[in-house]
Chain A
Amino acid sequence: MTATTNTRRWDPVVKLTHWTIVAAILANAVITEEGSAAHVWVGYALAAILALRLLWGLIGPAEARFTAFPPSPVRALRHIGEIRRGEQAEHASHNPLGALMVYAIWSCLGVIIATGIAMAGFPPQGESHEEDRPAAYASAEYGEESEEGEEAREGGEGHEEDGMEELHEVAVNLLYLLIVLHIAGVVFETRRSGRQVVLAMLPRRR
Chain B
Amino acid sequence: MQGRARKLEHRATAMTIVVALQALAAAFFLADLAGDLASEPADGHLIVEGIAAVALLISVVLGAIQIRHLVLAARADEAAVAVARGALAQLVQLRFAQWHLTPAEADVALFALKGCDVAEIATLRGAAAGTVRAQLARIYAKAGVASHTALLALFVEELIDTSLLHAAGTEGEKTA
Interface residues of A (CB under 8 A from B): 11-13, 16-17, 20, 44-45, 47-49, 51-52, 55-56, 59-61, 117, 121-124, 134, 136-137, 140, 203-204
Given contacts A11-B12, A17-B20, A59-B68, contact A51 B38 (CB under 8 A): no
Nearest CB on B from A141, distance (A): 11
Given A55-B61, A56-B64, A61-B75, 18 more A-B residue pairs with CB atoms under 8 Å apart are A11-B67, A12-B67, A13-B67, A16-B13, A44-B27, A44-B28, A45-B27, A48-B23, A49-B20, A52-B20, A52-B64, A55-B60, A61-B68, A122-B32, A123-B34, A134-B38, A136-B38, A140-B38
Verify A122–B34 contact, CB threshold 8 A.
yes
Q: Which of A47, A49, A59, A203 meets B64, CB within 8 Å? A: A59
CA distance A33 to B35 in the complex (A): 23
Residue of A nearest to B21 (CB): A48
Nearest CB on B from A95, distance (A): 21
Verify A20–B20 contact, CB threshold 8 A.
yes
CA distance A136 to B72 in the complex (A): 46
A134 contact set on B, CB distance < 8 A = 38-39
Nearest CB on B from A179, distance (A): 21
Verify A123–B12 contact, CB threshold 8 A.
no
B65 contact set on A, CB distance < 8 A = 59
A56 contact set on B, CB distance < 8 A = 64
Interface of A, secondary structure class, is helix
29 pairs of residues in contact across A and B, judged by CB atoms under 8 Å: A11-B12, A12-B9, A12-B71, A13-B16, A13-B64, A13-B67, A16-B13, A16-B17, A44-B27, A44-B31, A48-B23, A48-B28, A49-B20, A49-B23, A52-B60, A52-B64, A55-B60, A55-B61, A60-B68, A61-B68, A61-B71, A122-B32, A123-B28, A123-B35, A124-B28, A124-B32, A134-B38, A137-B39, A203-B13
- Could you mark each residue 36-75 of chain B with 1 if its beta carbon is under 8 Å from any beta carbon of chain A, else 0? 1011000000000000000000001100110110011001
CA distance A11 to B67 in the complex (A): 9
Task: State how many residues of chain B have any CB contact under 8 Å with chain A.
Answer: 28
Residue of B nearest to A46 (CB): B27
Given contacts A17-B20, A136-B38, contact A204 B9 (CB under 8 A): yes
CA distance A42 to B19 in the complex (A): 18
A11 contact set on B, CB distance < 8 A = 12, 67, 71
CA distance A124 to B31 in the complex (A): 7
CA distance A203 to B9 in the complex (A): 11
Given contacts A12-B16, A61-B71, contact A55 B31 (CB under 8 A): no
A140 contact set on B, CB distance < 8 A = 38
CA distance A122 to B36 in the complex (A): 8
Task: Indicate the member of A12, A56, A203 with the most B CB atoms within 10 Å.
Answer: A12
